[in-house]
Amino acid sequence: MMRRSLRPAPREVNVGEDPRSRESRLPPEMSQPRTAQPRTVQPNGTIDPGGSAMTVRPAASALPAGPATDDARVHGDDGWPPVTEESARERVAGRCFGLRPPRLVGAELEWLTRTRSGGRPTAAHLAGALGAHAPGSVAPGSPHAALPAGGSVSIEPGGQVEISSAPLRDVDTLCAALTADAAALRALLGARGIEMIPGAVDGVRAPSRILTVARYAAMQERFDRNGPLGAAMMCNTAAIHVSVDCGADPEDLALRWRALNAVGPALVAAFADAGDAVVGGDGHGGMTRAGRWASERMRTWLTLDPGRTGLDAAAPGASADPVAAYTRWALSAPLLCVQREDGDWSVPGDVTFAQWIAGDAAAPDRAPTAADLDYHLTTLFPPVRPCGHLEVRYIDAQPAPAGDHGQALHEEAWPAPIAVVDALVRTPETARRAAAIAESTRGEWRRAAQRGLADEELRGSAQALLGLAAEAAPGGATQAIESVARRIARAGGSAVGAARSSSPQDDRDDVRAACRSALERARRRTRVLTDVPDDQLTAQHSELMSPLVWDLAHIGNQEDLWLVRAAGGRAATPPVTGPQDEPWRSHDSGDAPAHDGAHGLDDLYDAFRHPRATRPALPILGPEAARGYTASVRAHAMAVLERCGFDGDPLTAGGFVFGMVAQHEQQHDETMLATHQLRTGPRLLHAPAAPRARRPLGGDAGAPGAVRSDRAAPEVVVPGGAFTMGTDGAPGPESWALDNERPAHRVEVAAFAIEAVPVTNRRYARFIADGGYRRRELWSERGWRHRLQEVLEAPQFWSRAGDGHWVRRRFGATEDLEPDEPVVHVSYFEAEAFAAWAGKRLPTEAEWEKAARHHPSAGHSRAYPWGDEAPAERHANLGQRHLSPAGVWAYPDGATASGIHQLIGDVWEWTSSGFEAYPGFRAFPYREYSEVFFGGDYRVLRGGSFGTDAVACRGTFRNWDHPVRRQIFAGIRLARDCADAAGSSSSGADESGDA
């Protein structure tokens, strides 16, 4: 654990609108479902309990006037009374989430356009071609007639054309209607010399808007603050959007929400378009051809404000309560642009809608109204946007398909992604399976956009999702899905998207991407752990642990100290005030003194100054303030990351300090996971079940929860001799190794035998049955005294059911004991006593590392037991992917060459070694991370647990804790001197006989 001693448009607006177009994008039938909170804010500020949540409000000029007043801060400029935080939350929830049984699907298809000369058509040219079908943006007063099959046409700022379908009953009907409307649109435009170009990106022409209204100029001004690709996004990209119903009830909504967000990166990779087949040329469109990403369109979105695009860890896509999470996120999003009645569009600074409600000094000089809020919602572009239905926005427009030998095919490629999205949430079970398949790549938007199918993990997820979709889709859609699946299979390990030549800039970009990915992954997990009711966030569930809200703000404070200040040279980030949270108010601060200023946080969140038991009495930040503060810090930290050169300063070289902060957050995430285990009440966390044992020890497990006699675990003999322990932090998996893992040094280790798998519940229950907790001779003096004092009789969270068999409590649920799962929640003293009962001992730290890293034939140390490849889902149970250890033998791909399994993940393993410095140790970047703990009453644990993230788990990583600790996810692996291991197996074969 890291320790520091360092206004609105005067028109109708629609929640389903795209930033680039003035026309409504919301399929009208989908806009009228039963709503999650069916209340509508009226112009007089009252709540209409029967109003449709998706009712489109009248234009501002048609609204009744508010009470006469000269105070624009009271009523705003449009006649609507101002919104309060409460009414804003109600309005977001009501307008964005509509509940009804899923039955409809809709889509929007976009195409790039060009004239016969290759240029962009003008607005007048498009209006002339479209006639009665032209939208008002290019033909004011047009009837905007529907196309033959019911779709409507809109025009994007760069001249892209879009068809928005009506919502229809199934994918086959939808695709037939879109095919007919696309043919009609192509004929209309073709008659005027305008060509529709399939594909997601125009990499040739410089971005140029043909829609020149002031609002778009304001939008572009805002986007340009992030770089040139904002204009490219508006003018040079095309997408496919798929809309499905929210679901029948809140549980169904949560399931569909999580699934559609989880599968996003894998589907980005599956349908990525790098732009090769668009127009061709030399890259003058604001996107470079050299170093082209797999999805150039998604690349443009990733350059924009993540608080608007939802492509960062702060996005609400993983939440089990999407209404609350999205509402909170939407109100915390920055304003894009604001209009007054005089027609002037202004681009405010970095002010959120919540800060506007609160009257922040930097906010617009009038109060926001419900119409302002409605417009604000149209300027948010998360990967899955709730618009009364769920709009999936992350899929590239598809280039013309090619046959198996690269020939052009005279058909469309867009039906496949529509069919896939619909199929993956077709039933609750399919949605659950889809979310589980994609869990390991959830949130990996940047990696998906950059590498696409060249990324092995993303390709595997995409293949599995396509298989599931083909299985779930109705008959007519299966062929299109299977065609994509064959393409993905052909991609294999080939580099999809041009490989980049190595250069110093490329190296820096790689480091930056790795740092960004690690930070974003950690923040996604933090949000899962803290996206709980406020009373659960602020309660202290055990004196051993902090309130979760303390951990949350501490994570932000450490990130501010090290990334914003130390690495970025910036001022400390101040706490964020909000309309509901005082900046320095805890959930129960009593008479504790307040602390003023950003630096006051440094004291509040100093783990050394304030032991865990005392933290609830501190004037710590409340839930909303803590969330706002960590989000604000993250925005500043990411700005530092984008400008970092990664050389010169040892703190930033190789991205070390960013990696250190990511590891710190993940370590606190594991601590918060332990807090969730200690809390009482119903389960708040959910994850797929862990894999079961592949070959149970001791035969049939019998009735649920029954523990039969076990067999001795097989052993592997590790030959004696010297090996390299620790690391010097060479480039690769160990480049972010912390100071206590350094330096690399040679260690002589005598031959020893070590068990091939961790000790199981079955074996440990046998120890209990044999009187292990009553036999003084098995325990050390300190251990026995502690056992008597704490009345230890079984691992923490174990208890007897009514019939006497063992059960355990896990994250709020009582479960039968899984016999062939590693035992967890045992102290060092319990592990020591078990080893004595088994006639063995705990391994030393050096023995453990040699077993995990030393390659017996190559004679060198590797990063992980299986080699130097970064941990993947097939290797180990890590990162809270599951909420328990997996059964033994469940990860054969993660074993050592000599057959030792599950050294990484599942449970931390106690060693017999105290926590000491390695020879030549040098504290970096501060003493209080490791040095102050050397020589104390700590025992080293190795290997990580199911709650440890891969960034903080490698063959050299050292954890340490007091020997009495049981709330940590710690288990046991046994060893013995080789002289006592004569005749034991080195192949991992089971021994015969009962223990």
Taking only the tens place, the pLDDT of each residue in 133-179 is 999 999 999 999 999 999 999 999 999 999 999 999 999 999 999 99
Residue 664 counted as an annotated binding residue? yes
Residue 149 counted as an annotated binding residue? no
Instruction: Tell me the domain boundaries of the chain.
Output: 105-315+329-349+379-491, 504-678, 715-784+819-981
Among 642, 632, 660, 646, which Cα is nearest to 571's?
A: 632
pLDDT-derived band at 64, boundaries 50, 70, 90: very low
Among 843, 829, 841, which Cα is nearest to 779's?
A: 829
Distance from C-alpha of 540 to C-alpha of 533, rounded to nearest angstrom: 14
Residue 478 counted as an annotated binding residue? no
pLDDT-derived band at 618, boundaries 50, 70, 90: very high
CATH of domain 105-315+329-349+379-491: 3.30.590.20
Exposure string of 880-902, with b = 16+ CB inside 10 Å and e = fewer, is bbbbbbbbbbbbeebbbebbbbb
Among 174, 155, 173, 152, which Cα is nearest to 106's?
A: 174
Whether 540 and 548 have beta carbons less than 8 Å apart is answered as no
Sequence-ordered list of residues with C-beta below 8 angstroms from that of 517, at least 6 positions apart, any chain: 444, 446, 447
pLDDT-derived band at 598, boundaries 50, 70, 90: low
pLDDT of residue 12: 32
Q: What torsion do the CA atoms of 603, 606, 612, 614 make, to the nearest 10 degrees?
A: -20
Average pLDDT over residues 93-104: 92
* pLDDT per position as a tens digit, 224-256: 776 777 888 999 999 999 999 999 999 999 999
What does R_g of the chain's alpha carbons equal in angstroms? 30
Among 846, 845, 824, which Cα is nearest to 941's?
A: 845
Q: Cis before residue 925, ω within 30 degrees of 0?
A: yes
Amino acid letter, residue 159: G
Q: Is 670 left (phi over 0), alpha (psi -120 to 50) or beta?
A: alpha
Average pLDDT over residues 844-866: 89
Distance from C-alpha of 833 to C-alpha of 773, rounded to nearest angstrom: 8
Residue 587 counted as an annotated binding residue? no
Percentage of the chain exceeding pLDDT 70? 81
pLDDT at 324 over 70: yes
pLDDT of residue 805: 95
pLDDT of residue 993: 31
Distance from C-alpha of 465 to C-alpha of 399, rounded to nearest angstrom: 21
CATH of domain 715-784+819-981: 3.90.1580.10
CATH of domain 504-678: 1.20.120
Whether 53 and 40 have beta carbons less than 8 Å apart is answered as yes
pLDDT-derived band at 924, boundaries 50, 70, 90: very high
Whether 451 and 297 have beta carbons less than 8 Å apart is answered as no
pLDDT at 503 over 70: no
Residue 34 counted as an annotated binding residue? no
Q: What is the DSSP string of 632-676?
A: HHHHHHHHHHHH----SSTTTGGGHHHHHHHHHHHHHHHHHHHHH
* pLDDT per position as a tens digit, 630-676: 999 998 999 899 889 997 789 999 999 999 999 999 999 999 999 99
pLDDT of residue 6: 34
Sequence-ordered list of residues with C-beta below 8 angstroms from that of 107, at least 6 positions apart, any chain: 165, 174, 178, 240, 241, 242, 243, 418
Distance from C-alpha of 538 to C-alpha of 622, rounded to nearest angstrom: 8
Three-state SS for 233-301 is: HHHHECEEEEEECCECCHHHHHHHHHHHHHCHHHHHHHCCCCCCCCCCCCCCCCCCCCCCCCCHHHHHH
> In terms of pLDDT, which residue wins out, 37 or 934?
934
Whether 595 and 619 have beta carbons less than 8 Å apart is answered as yes
Three-state SS for 114-183 is: EECCCCCCCHHHHHHHHHHHCCCCCCCCCCCCCCCCCCEEEECCCCCEEEECCCECCHHHHHHHHHHHHH
CB-neighbour burial class of residue 820 (10 A; exposed 0-12, middle 13-18, buried 19+): buried
Average pLDDT over all residues of the chain: 83
Residue 614 counted as an annotated binding residue? yes
The mean-pLDDT minimum among 56-60, 389-393, 795-799, 916-920 falls in 56-60
Helix 171-190 with 475-491: angle, nearest 10 deg = 80
Distance from C-alpha of 582 to C-alpha of 63, rounded to nearest angstrom: 35
Q: Is 281 left (phi over 0), alpha (psi -120 to 50) or beta?
A: left
CB-neighbour burial class of residue 972 (10 A; exposed 0-12, middle 13-18, buried 19+): buried
Amino acid letter, residue 539: A
Element housing 113 (H / E): strand 105-115
CB-neighbour burial class of residue 650 (10 A; exposed 0-12, middle 13-18, buried 19+): exposed
Average pLDDT over residues 33-52: 30
869: helix, strand or coil: coil
Q: How many CA atoms lie within 13 A of 725 on its CB side?
A: 21
Query: Would you say the pTM of this structure is higher than 0.85?
Result: no
Exposure string of 437-463, with b = 16+ CB inside 10 Å and e = fewer, is bbbbbbbbbbbbbbbbbbbebbbbbbb
Residue 366 counted as an annotated binding residue? no
Task: Give the pairing of strands 338-339 and 345-346.
Answer: antiparallel
Count CB-CB contacts under 10 A for residue 645. 12
Distance from C-alpha of 958 to C-alpha of 955, rounded to nearest angstrom: 9
Among 203, 230, 248, 198, which Cα is nearest to 417's?
A: 198
pLDDT of residue 364: 86
Whether 151 and 177 have beta carbons less than 8 Å apart is answered as yes
Percentage of the chain exceeding pLDDT 90? 63
pLDDT of residue 33: 34
Residue 40 counted as an annotated binding residue? no
Distance from C-alpha of 382 to C-alpha of 316, rounded to nearest angstrom: 9
Distance from C-alpha of 439 to C-alpha of 430, rounded to nearest angstrom: 14
Reading the block at residue 544, the tokens are 């051993």
Sequence-ordered list of residues with C-beta below 8 angstroms from that of 701, at least 6 positions apart, any chain: 708, 762, 819, 820
pLDDT of residue 983: 40
Q: What is the DSSP string of 847-862?
A: HHHHHHHB-TTT-SB-
* pLDDT per position as a tens digit, 379-388: 999 999 999 9
Distance from C-alpha of 749 to C-alpha of 723, rounded to nearest angstrom: 8
* pLDDT per position as a tens digit, 461-487: 999 999 899 988 887 677 788 888 888
Whether 517 and 655 have beta carbons less than 8 Å apart is answered as no
Distance from C-alpha of 836 to C-alpha of 559, rounded to nearest angstrom: 44
Residue 613 counted as an annotated binding residue? yes
Amino acid letter, residue 455: D
* pLDDT per position as a tens digit, 288-299: 444 689 999 999
CB-neighbour burial class of residue 346 (10 A; exposed 0-12, middle 13-18, buried 19+): middle
Sequence-ordered list of residues with C-beta below 8 angstroms from that of 361, at least 6 positions apart, any chain: none
Residue the block writes with tokens 């390695």: 918
